[in-house]
Amino acid sequence: MIFRLLAAAIWLPLRVLYEALRFVLLLPFPRKVPKWAVLRLAGGLPWRYARTRRWKPGKKPLALEEIERQLETAAREPALRGIVVFPEELHADPARLVALATALQRFRSKGKEVVLYWKQALARDFALVPAADRVLLAPGGMVLLVGHAAAMTSVREGLQKLGVVAEFFRIGRWKTAPERFTRSDISPEHRALVEAVLDQRQDELVAWVASRKAGDAEWAARVIDGGPYTSRRAVEAGLVDALVYPDEIGSWLGRHPSPGSAKESGADSTTKESTDEARTKAEKREPKLHGLGSIRSSRRWRVEWPKIAPPSIAVVRIDGLIKPGRSVRLPGGRSLAGERTVAAAMNRVREDPRIRGVIVAIDSRGGAAPASELMWRAVKRCAEAKPTVAYVESVAASGGYFAAAGAGRIVATPGALVGSIGVFSGRFDARALLDRLGIRQEVVLRGANAGILEPAHSLTDRERKMMEAEIAAIYEEFVDRVADGRRLGADEIRAHAEGRVFVASSAPKALVDEVGDFKSAMAWVCKEAGLDPERARLRIEEPRGMGALQLGELLSLAGVAASQPLLLWLD
C-alpha cells in the first residue's frame, strides 16, 4: 500500500505535466479523425482486463469492457462515419459475442454505421449480424451456415467384442452419462436433452440470420437449410452485401456510402451539393482505415487519474472435469479442476481483506463426488464471509453445479447448461478380455464386499445392493447440499433433480437466480460489496501448485478403472 501511494505521488505530477505539454504543443494543429475505424477481434474476448499476480509476456487480448469504452469515445466524433469489424481467429463463446453485438448496437444508435467483414464465417459469427448495417465477405470466402448437429456415441458393442462388460449404477433417469457404455441405442431422456439444447441453439441462430431481412424467421430457416454457401451464393441468398478483398475495403466504402451518410451530404446547406454530387466525390476518395483505439488517443482533454489501491473483486475459475488433489493443465489448453487447488484459492480470497467480493467462474460438467463436495464447502465458506456469485458461461452440470450451489447467487448465460443433480458409479468387468489374452487371475477375498474393487471379479447380488444403497445415500447428500446452498427445501430441489439438465434460459428459479452475463454477475457482487462496478478492479486468482496427471488418474478419468476400479462420479 505504501509503495503504491509513493508511486502515485511521483507518477501523478508527471502525468499532469505531460497532458499540459501535449495540449499546448498540439493546439495549433487540428485533430484528424478518420472517417472509418477498424475493430479487429481475436481470441476469447475476456470481459475485462484483470490484474494477476503473475506478469505474462505478450500483448493483452482486447477485452469487452475496453471495446465498449473505445466505441463510446468514437461515437462522440462527428467526423467518424462508422467502424469495420474484422472477426479474425475469434473463438469467443456466443454469450460474449452477443454482449459485443449489444455494444455495437449502442454505437449504431448514435448515428454511426457498423460494417462486418468476414474472410470465412461460421454459424456463431452470425451473433454479430444483428448489429451490422452491411456485411462484406472475401471473394474466396465461405459461409459455413448449416445449423447445429450433435453426435451421440455408444461403445457398448465395441467393448463386448473386446470382452469388457460395463456395470454402472445411477440415481435419476436423466443421468445419462454412463449410457454410452451400457446401451447400444440412445435413451429417450438423453435424446430429449440433446434436442432441447439443439432447439435453443437453432432458435438463436434463426433470430441472428433473420435480422438480415427484418426478422423474417421463415426466410432465415430456408437459408440455413440451403447452406453452406460459396461467396457468390452468399450474395445471391442475401447473407452478405458484397464481395470485397481486404485491401479494397477503403475504396469500396468510398464508392458505396451508406444511404444515411449520402442523405446527410445531399441535405447540407453549407455545401449545397446534391446527393449525386456527394456520391461522385465519395467515389474519388479512398478512406483510410485507422484502429479504433487511435481515436481514443487523439482526444486532448482526456486525463486518466490513477486508482490508488482500489478494492478488488476476485475471480476464481473451476474449469474442466473435477478431480481430487491438484488441478492439472492438459495439452490443447484444457485443464482438470483439482479440489485442493480450488479450495486453496477460495480460502485465499476469503481471508484477503483487500478483496471485497468473489466471482466463481464455472465451466465444468462434473467429476468425482468427494472432490465436488469439498469445492462446494470452500465456495460456501467464502459466501458466508463476503459476497460470492457463481457465474456460468457454458456449463455447470452435476459436480460443477454442486460447487456453484455454495455461492450466494447463480448467474448463467441464456445458453448455458445447468443442473444434472444426480449420481452414477460403475466398473468394467474385463474377465473375458483377460481370458482372450491368455491371462489368468485368481481372486482371493477377505471381507463380504471386498470384490467390489476387483475388476476380475463379477459383482454378487449382495455387492450390487450395497452399491445401489451407497449411491442412493450420495444422491440424497447431493440434494441436501444443494438445498442448503440455495436456501430451499430438499423437496424443491428434488423436483428438478434426477440428473436432468436445463438450458439456463428455461431453467427453474430454484436452480438459477438470473439469466445474464459476466457484467450481471459483476454488478450484483459489487452492489452487495458496496462498490462501483466501474472502479472495482478484477483480480484473477491464478491456480498455484498445479500437479501432473498420473497414469492411473488418466485411465480412471477415461473410464478405465486401474488402481481404483470403482468410479463415483457426478457427471
Strand partners, 514: 411
- Catalytic annotation present for 398: yes
CA distance 401 to 380: 13
- Catalytic annotation present for 184: no
Given the C-alpha cell 467483414, which residue does it identify? 117
List, in order of start, the domains of the chain with CATH numbers.
33-146+227-297 (3.90.226.10), 312-421+462-570 (3.90.226.10)
3-class SS at 515?
strand
Mean pLDDT by 10 residues, the chain (571 residues): 66 71 56 71 72 49 79 81 84 83 89 89 89 89 85 81 80 78 83 85 90 88 88 90 86 73 40 45 52 52 49 87 84 78 91 91 88 91 93 90 91 90 80 78 72 72 82 86 88 87 89 90 91 81 61 45 42 51
DSSP of 84-119: EEEEEEE---HHHHHHHHHHHHHHHTTT-EEEEEES
Q: Tell how strand 113-118 and strand 328-329 pair up.
A: unpaired
Classify residue 194 as left (phi > 0), alpha (psi -120 to 50) or beta: alpha
CA distance 131 to 98: 9
- Say which of 231, 265, 335, 398 is annotated catalytic: 398
C-alpha distance from residue 109 to each of 154, 437, 533 (Å):
50, 71, 24
- Say which of 35, 112, 175, 380 is annotated catalytic: 175
> What is the pLDDT at residue 423?
83
CB 394 within 8 A of CB 416: yes
What does pTM read for this prediction?
0.74
Q: What count of other Cβ atoms lies within 10 Å of the Cβ of residue 517?
A: 23
Structural element, H or E, at residue 148: none
Output phi, psi for 321, to 5 deg: -65, 135
Residues 261-314 have pLDDT tens digits of 443 434 343 333 444 454 445 444 555 565 665 555 444 444 444 445 567 889
